[in-house]
Structure 1
Amino acid sequence: MAVDTGLIAWVEEALAPLGPVTSRAMMGGATLYCGGTVFAIVAGDALWFKADAVSDATWDAAGAKRFTYPRGDGVGTMNYRRAPDGVYDDADDLRRWAILALEAGGRAPARKPRRRPS
């Protein structure tokens, strides 16, 4: 599945007022960061915003589906929600949802650095 680089460019441009957006390749997709905080992923041509227990009710009210992926034992989920349709052509709407995702990213526990074999 190819990543929609145009979508990533749109997110970078629309979120410029919030801070620099960077991306990193991830298993056929991309992880998006704003100011160093993970806030979204891009899988194919879809944008998925980071969510958590605090923001889940807002995402549920918007009808935003949870990210799922096939696993050997069935279906796995990640706490990302499908971006509402309006974000693809409305920068203000994109920023509103991105702020919610950035808040969730800020609440996420810091990842422990990987230990390198000595």
Structure 2
Amino acid sequence: MSVSDDQIAHALELFDGVAPLTTRKMMGGLCIYSDGVIFAIIHGDHGIMIKGKGDFVTELEGMGCTRWTYTRDRGAKAGGPTGMPYWTLPDSAQDDPTAASALARRALTFL
């Protein structure tokens, strides 16, 4: 499923506090960058997701965020789960630009 113009506009509004923002459509989704560093994506099935690394992962999990995983369909690890470095936004940040931008800035400190 591809992302809609409305989803893109909403994400850019949420992360306006970490401008300058740029985007790039990839694999049916959209990557969101600040100063050339990817910190979030819009996934067609999972919505807006923020990149997690290091201790920030523990923080995201503590907020109830879930990691994007999928099942490999080929190769030596076919049938096994694969985790991507992206987590759902917590409910508190879904419609709050201040909270979403704060999470983005936090993510960028680990990237």
Class of the TM-score when normalised by the shorter of the 2 chains: 0.7 to 0.9
| CA distance in 2: counterparts of 1:7 and 1:87, whole angstroms | 15
Identify the residue that residue 10 of structure 1 maps to in structure 2.
Answer: 10
The answer to whether structure 1 residue 82 and structure 2 residue 83 are counterparts is: no
Percent of aligned pairs with the same residue?
A: 32
- Structure 1 ranges of 4+ moved more than 3 A: none
Identify the residue that residue 39 of structure 1 maps to in structure 2.
Answer: 39
Count of residues paired in the alignment: 105
Given the superposition, is the C-alpha separation of residues 5 and 19 from structure 1 closer, same or farther in structure 2, using an over 3 Å criterion? same
| Alpha-carbon offset, residue 7 of structure 1 | 2.4
Where 2:55 maps in the other structure, the secondary structure is coil
Identify the residue that residue 30 of structure 2 maps to in structure 1.
Answer: 30
Where 2:31 maps in the other structure, the secondary structure is strand
Q: TM-score, normalised by structure 2?
A: 0.82
Listed as ranges, the matches of 1:43-58 within 5 Å are 43-44=43-44, 46-58=47-59
Given the superposition, is the C-alpha separation of residues 4 and 83 from structure 1 closer, same or farther in structure 2, using an over 3 Å criterion? farther
Where 1:96 maps in the other structure, the secondary structure is helix
Contiguous gaps of at least 5 residues in structure 2: none
* Structure 1 counterpart of 2:66, one-letter code: K
On the 8 A contact 1:12/1:20 being kept in 2, the answer is no
Contiguous gaps of at least 5 residues in structure 1: 106-118
| Alpha-carbon offset, residue 55 of structure 1 | 0.9
| CA distance in 2: counterparts of 1:5 and 1:87, whole angstroms | 20
Q: Relative contact order, CA 8 A, sep 6+: which one is greater? A: 2
| CA distance in 1: counterparts of 2:5 and 2:108, whole angstroms | 21
Deviations 1:50-86 (A, max 9, x none): 1012211101111111111231112211111111122
Identify the residue that residue 112 of structure 1 maps to in structure 2.
Answer: none
| CA distance in 2: counterparts of 1:5 and 1:58, whole angstroms | 30
Q: TM-score, normalised by structure 1?
A: 0.78
Where 1:95 maps in the other structure, the secondary structure is helix
